[in-house]
Structure 1
Amino acid sequence: MEQRNLWGAATARRYDTPGTGMFAPEVLEPTVARLAELADGGAALEFAIGTGRVAVPLARRGVPVTGIELSEPMVEQLRTKADEAAIPVVIGDMATTLAPGTYRLVYLVYNTISNLLTQAEQVECFRNAARHLGPGGRFVIELGVPELRTLPPGTAATVWHREPGYLGLDTYDVLDQRVVSHHFHFDDTERAELHRSPHRYIWPAELDLMAQLAGFEREFRHADWTGTPFTAESRSHVSVYRIPAER
């Protein structure tokens, strides 16, 4: 399950779900509003820009946005919404690919850093973000908290979402911090469609150490985009790291 193959043409065609899921206004609008604030009047770079779920509305707010994206089919879908002049995109992986220019904000949303399947790649992603930022620049990551507290001893999987027509479950390899997300879509027939994606989960404290290795300081961590305090019971977090003003 190589990432380049996971994000092919079929995935790109079904990725956008306007008005629902990650595209629901109550999910998307706080994300865009907070990122516009954190950009602080400067330009933004999105790692793994995908089909432009966040970049397109952020650009409409007046924030200049550039993207880095591994999947050409995802960028083709983005191009139905914004052309290259409006949102430039560099094809490549987010751990090593360089985009031209210096940015005030680099952001990586919706658990996407976990698509990098080794700790070394994830550390390089932080270093790549730092290469694109000037003094005082920010790197923002939205990431889930590993749900191992809900994993009984001897059990390798958890169901994390269920609704009519959909079941989501994760299988864990706790030795290598790997998780495979299984997405089952079904209807009234006997047939079901399965899509899987591999991830390497990251503990919040481990994420902070990655940031430190790349020269960042943690500015704050909240449980969501609206600023809800992060607690031991939070299932996800938005962490903001900053390059010191003088380095």
Structure 2
Amino acid sequence: MVDQQQLWDAHAARTYDTPGEGMFAPEVLGPTVETLADLAGGGRALELAIGTGRVAIPLVEAGVPVAGIELSHAMIARLREKIDDDALPVVQGDMATASAGEAGTFALAFLVFNTISNLLTQSEQVACFRNAARHLAPGGRFVIELWVPQLRSLVPGHGATVEVSEPGYLLVDTYDTLAQQVFSHHVRFEPSLEDGHEARIWRSPHRYIWPSELDLMAQLAGFELEHRWADWDRSEFTADSRSHVSVYRLAP
């Protein structure tokens, strides 16, 4: 069993934020916040696995009341360096089971950047949908951002794909297709006086989900698919899309 507290520890929390770059780049955060604010429709929003507040803080700044659930103590501590509890309340707990307040009071719940895949069993992922449904008012929306498994990229006889290769960073995913598991191997090359470059390796386990399986999980929790986009800019999702933003609507 993976110890998620150990995985998302103080070092992970310290290095998670990259202001102005990567996930924190304005061209990434801008459409994300704009779309979520639109989907909230003036109501309250709940972020499951809120992390260090990458999306929640600018969403609060855009005028949307946000609450969060987060398992990692270290991630919450990092978030608290940036915003206090009165402005952004966070409950420490598992996104599949924890309660962030009175049931049925949120207009929007959301999970960004593949986070639902951190739940490593199908039953936990289904429980997450049901937890989101408990928090939402009738007609509320649940939004999930998730990558599309790149199994077509697997070379016969090999179980790995190179997802990112850029100066200073390499991401390799290794697949167990029988168990529907993937391990992401993040390799960062840092300057070192001894040998020119030093590699730091960090690994994270995931359970990958096909869009059709995600839709079935949603149905089990009382949701229907309202939209599926390729990205936060609401571009068309196609067979070649490498990720998707799926919007589910709870029955009125």
Shift, 1:191, TM fit:
2.8
CA separation in 2, counterparts of 1:27 and 1:162? 19
1:98 corresponding residue in structure 2:
99
1:200 corresponding residue in structure 2:
207
Gaps of 5+ in 2: none
1:39 corresponding residue in structure 2:
40
Give the letter for the 1:121 counterpart: E
* Structure 2 SS opposite 1:117: coil
TM-score computed with the length of structure 1 as normaliser: 0.98
TM-score computed with the length of structure 2 as normaliser: 0.96
Equivalent of 2:176 in 170, 173, 176: 173
Cα separation, partners in 2 of 1:187 and 1:7, compared to 1, 3 Å: closer
Equivalent of 1:238 in 221, 226, 245: 245
2:51 corresponding residue in structure 1:
50
CA separation in 1, counterparts of 2:3 and 2:114? 17
CA separation in 1, counterparts of 2:30 and 2:82? 18
* Structure 2 SS opposite 1:240: strand
* Structure 1 SS opposite 2:99: coil
Equivalent residue pairs, number:
245
Q: Following TM superposition, where does structure 1 have runs of at least 4 consecutive aligned residues deviating by more than 4 angstroms?
A: none
Query: What does 1:1-247 align with in structure 2 at a 5 Å threshold?
Result: 1-101=2-102, 102-187=105-190, 189=196, 191-245=198-252
RMSD, aligned α-carbons: 0.8
CA separation in 2, counterparts of 1:14 and 1:152? 33
CA deviation string 1:74-129 (max 9, x = no partner): 01111111100000000000000011031000000000000000000000000000
Shift, 1:190, TM fit:
5.0
Which has the larger displacement, 179-188 or 231-240?
A: 179-188
Gaps of 5+ in 1: none
CA deviation string 1:170-198 (max 9, x = no partner): 00000011000001111453531100000
Percent identical residues: 67
